[in-house]
Amino acid sequence: MLAVYFATGLTMSAINNRHPERRIQKHRDGMKRVRQEIRSSLSALATSSALLSAGFFAQTQGWVLFEPLALSWWSFPLMFAVCLILFDAWFYWGHRILHWPSLYKWHVPHHRSIAPTAWSNDSSTTIDTLIEHGFYLVVWFVLPVPALSVFALRLFDQISGMVGHSGFEYFASKSSRWPSPMICTTFHDLHHSQFHYNYGNFFSFWDRVCGTVHPKYDALVREMETTGEVPDTEDTKVAKNTA
């Protein structure tokens, strides 16, 4: 996973350097914290990998509720999709819990990256990682998952998370706003600048159901979709964090 982290981080940095006009937070440069983010990410990635490995080992030893489905043309995409949807729910509620005042101290290091970069995706404390990535341990015990489905999800989660933290918008379109459940980079960037909105990981579903989607998110995406430009707007500037 370290190779994926550095490959994705370097790729996104190179792309972003060529397209400064795509920066979401026009007046804040998150790159000043990159060294700190990388140092913090190394331990978080080790924790996440340990959770994934422990669950996989438990499955190989038969310590799980169900035998894994044989890998096939249908079992892999089916269980990948099931895990994708379940992990998005797990992440949303785990993320909401981490914003409780009693637990926020374990999450606040991640929010020091107010203007996130691809490198800040994994910049988290151990407790934060255990809560948000505990899914990668638990899923092996409760679902008949082919190992490749879980490994593929973790890979997708890593790359999409780093793109989602990159701070530059390339994917705003009709498919990333209502009524679509899909999201673009602006979605999570608003979470870092506004703090109390947009807790979801892959989809906006839980935020819309629970009323935590940023009230201007869809309008911002529509504007970018229409103009092809990332606007310099008050809606993406930093709000006071009262967590």
Q: Could you list the residue range(s) of the whole structural domain that residue 109 is in?
A: 21-236
- What is the percent of the chain where pLDDT is above 90? 88
Which tens digit of pLDDT belongs to each residue from 89-128?
999 999 999 999 999 999 999 999 999 999 999 999 999 9
Q: What is the pLDDT of residue 238?
A: 54
Cβ contact 154:104 at 8 Å = no
Given a cut of 80, whether residue 167 has pLDDT beyond it is yes
Is 242 inside any structural domain?
no
Is 1 inside any structural domain?
no
Q: What is the average pLDDT score of the chain?
A: 94
End-to-end Cα separation, the chain, in angstroms:
31
Distance, CA of 73 to CA of 219 (rounded, Å)? 40
Is 181 inside any structural domain?
yes
Give the angle 203-209-210 at the CA atoms, nearest 5°: 105
- For residue 217 the two structure tokens come to 């998110």
Is 5 inside any structural domain?
no
Is 12 inside any structural domain?
no
Is 4 inside any structural domain?
no
Q: Which residue has the tokens 């989660």?
A: 157
Average pLDDT (213-228) is 94
Lowest mean pLDDT among 19-23, 31-35, 156-160, 212-216: 31-35
Question: Which CA distances in Å does 232 have to 27, 158, 195?
Answer: 9, 28, 19
Q: What is the pLDDT of residue 242?
A: 46
Give pTM, 2 decimals.
0.93
Q: What is the DSSP string of 190-219?
A: HHHHHSSS---SSBSHHHHHHT-S-TTHHH
Distance, CA of 26 to CA of 29 (rounded, Å)? 8
Q: How many CB atoms lie within 10 A of CB 14?
A: 9
Q: What is the DSSP string of 30-94?
A: GGGGHHHHHHHHHHHHHHHHHHHHHHHHHHHTT-SSSPPPPP-TTHHHHHHHHHHHHHHHHHHHH
User: What's the domain count of the chain?
Assistant: 1
Q: What is the pLDDT of residue 31?
A: 86
One-letter amino acid for residue 229 of the chain: E
Q: What is the pLDDT of residue 237?
A: 58
Nearest alpha carbon to residue 235 among 199, 191, 190: 190
Is 7 inside any structural domain?
no
Which tens digit of pLDDT belongs to each residue from 177-204?
999 999 999 999 999 999 999 999 999 9
Higher pLDDT, 236 or 170: 170
Is 16 inside any structural domain?
no
Distance, CA of 89 to CA of 95 (rounded, Å)? 10
Given a cut of 50, whether residue 2 has pLDDT beyond it is yes
Which tens digit of pLDDT belongs to each residue from 148-164?
999 999 999 999 999 99
All residues at 6 or more sequence positions from 75 whose CB lies less than 8 Å from its CB, including other chains: 69, 146, 149
